[in-house]
Amino acid sequence: MYLNLVIRMKLANKPGNLARVLTIIAQEGGTLGAIELISASPSCVTRDLMIRLNSREHLKRLVSAFEQMPEILILRISDRVFISHQGGKIEISPKRPILNWEDLSLMYTPGVAGVSEAIAAEADMAYGLTMKGNSVAIVTDGSAVLGLGDLGPYAALPVMEGKAVLFKKFANIDAFPLCLNVHEPGEIIDVVAACAPAFGGINLEDIAAPKCFEIEEKLAARLDIPVFHDDQHGTAIVTLAGLINALKVVGKSIADVKLVISGAGAAGVAIAKILINAGVSDLIVCDRKGAIARDLPPRQPSKLWIAENTNERCVHGQLKEVIAGADVFVGVSAPSLLNREDVMKMAEKSIVFALANPEPEVEPKEIYDVAAVIATGRSDYPNQINNALAFPGVFRGALDCHARVVNDQMCLAAAQALAGMISEEALSVENIIPSLFNEQVTPVVATAVRQAARKTGVSREFQVKPVAAVK
């Protein structure tokens, strides 16, 4: 795991001292960021150095090297990641000030009583008169936190806070982490359903498969607001968007390619479904045991769906065997499952989406001259397949039209809109997906989602009726 550090050190104020420090950092494979001057005197200089290192072992060697230099004193080593999380990352801020008693009477009692009565008479007025119309609950039980596994609800909270920050930054949506200390599907469903009146949508996050499928399905049937499992559908939307453009780069048709997926968890199942809806016909999904096929049907319902809807030829074998002749590989599984020789067995102009994070299924640097197009889940390589390109726009569009659900057509529309943001002139092997910081991503995706919701009859746009004037 990478370390992002701030090292505060005092150096003797002599020429060449800082250069020696930078040389040692480079020798240990460190990446230097900003250098800040904290204080200076004729005898010494105190500086903060922002450094990125590959491991704690590198840090130990770096500190040992500094300690051998009598003119350098390390004052403090701080982890920049932990600093950025200190005190949490979100807060509640009022939209309107309360400066006096009159403000208080309008915002709270007695004025709020009239608003409550109006909503009691017509529940849909909550969309315009409360936070409901622009709020999402981010729900987890902490059973599948990032790629770290079952860490529980407390450890999930910083991740959910981060998700809330992204909702606000990219879509101006107010999102609230709900980290639940219950783990059975029925318990999670009951808790979320009980909390639902306050929210315009539910974002399920970091809930382990297979229970995530049951939770999403039953909540969607029980509630009249969108329920969206981002680990499934967000990943699927961005993957399809990237694939649409990657196929343009290599001049292949989505209907004609052989495509292999590694991973039959939440993301793998959702990617398989959206790819089939988009026109992929030759699709094989592999789990730890190898290719999933209908002649040896698995018991798990989600994998049974895969068996019944993919691998028409009932191909068997491990991933390394099945990938031979494939045009496209999509990995949402585990690191280092493939190597250069495996990718060389794929078809000409192959496409590799190695999305395991932080370590991909195959290292891009091993196959840069073999695969025609490479995408990963990481920000330090081109073509990052990042869920944040999808979920802000999906929820923005769904909230804006008060959608009841997020259906397959809305997800397809989001993927196609996202792919369409890369013009034919800009399209290249290293530019198949827009930047996360492209300000047009969320509006474009939201518009497509809203239009698809209207077209499929799941929107319920209405105007909040004004409260009758007092006569």
- Reading the chain (471 residues) residue by residue, the pLDDT tens digits are 678 899 999 999 888 888 888 988 888 888 888 899 999 998 999 999 999 888 888 888 888 888 888 888 999 998 888 888 888 888 888 889 999 989 899 998 898 999 999 999 999 899 989 999 999 999 999 998 887 889 999 999 999 999 999 999 999 999 999 999 999 999 999 999 999 999 999 999 999 888 999 999 999 999 999 999 998 999 999 999 999 999 999 999 999 999 999 999 889 999 999 999 999 999 999 999 999 999 988 888 889 999 999 999 999 999 999 999 999 999 999 899 999 999 999 999 999 999 988 789 999 999 999 999 999 998 888 999 999 999 999 999 999 999 999 999 999 999 999 999 999 999 999 999 999 999 999 999 999 999 999 999 999 875 445 554 443
Give the pLDDT confidence score for residue 465 in this predicted structure: 53
Give the Cβ contact number of residue 355 at 10 Å.
Answer: 26
Beta bridge mates, 208: none
Give the Cβ contact number of residue 251 at 10 Å.
Answer: 8
Strands (DSSP E) contained in 253-360 are 258-262, 282-287, 290-291, 328-331, 351-354
Q: What are the structure tokens assigned to 406, written together?
A: 């997020």
Q: What are the structure tokens assigned to 292, written together?
A: 């999933």
Q: Which residue in the block uniquely carries the two structure tokens 């343009």?
A: 248
Residue 16 to residue 461: CA distance in whole angstroms = 67
Q: Return the ∠ at Cα 188 (arms to 186 and 184), rounded to 5°.
A: 55
**Half-sphere exposure at residue 329, Cβ-oriented, CA atoms within 13 angstroms:** 39
Which strand (E) or helix (H) includes residue 179? Answer: strand 174-179
- Helix ranges (H only) for 42-184 are 56-67, 80-85, 101-107, 111-121, 126-129, 152-171
* pTM for the whole structure: 0.86
Residue 236 neighbours by CB under 8 Å, 6+ apart: 267, 270, 271, 273, 274, 275, 411, 415
Residue 63 to residue 77: CA distance in whole angstroms = 10
Which phi and psi (to 5°) does residue 134 adopt? -135, 35
Q: What are the structure tokens assigned to 53, written together?
A: 């290192």
Length of the chain: 471
CA distance readout (Å), 442 to 137, 170, 384, 392, 405: 19, 7, 16, 6, 19
Active site residues: 108, 163
Rounded (10°) angle between helices 441-455 and 408-420: 140
Residue 416 to residue 404: CA distance in whole angstroms = 22
Residue 305 to residue 232: CA distance in whole angstroms = 15
* Distance from the Cα of residue 203 to its chain's centroid: 12
Give the pLDDT confidence score for residue 318 in this predicted structure: 95
Q: Strand pairing of 3-12 and 72-79?
A: antiparallel
Rounded (10°) angle between helices 185-195 and 211-222: 30
Give the pLDDT confidence score for residue 72 in this predicted structure: 87
Q: Return the ∠ at Cα 3 (arms to 25 and 439), rounded to 5°.
A: 110
Q: Return the ∠ at Cα 462 (arms to 403 and 451), rounded to 5°.
A: 45
Contact 212, 204 (CB under 8 A): yes
Which amino acid belongs to residue 267? A
3-state helix, strand, coil in the chain (%, to 5): 45, 20, 40
CA distance readout (Å), 466 to 1, 106, 355, 400, 461: 55, 16, 49, 19, 16
CA distance readout (Å), 314 to 67, 217, 284, 292, 321: 62, 28, 9, 8, 14
- Helix ranges (H only) for 361-407 are 364-367, 391-400
Which strand (E) or helix (H) includes residue 265? Answer: none
Give the pLDDT confidence score for residue 470 in this predicted structure: 41
Q: What are the structure tokens assigned to 312, written together?
A: 């028409």
Which amino acid belongs to residue 391? F
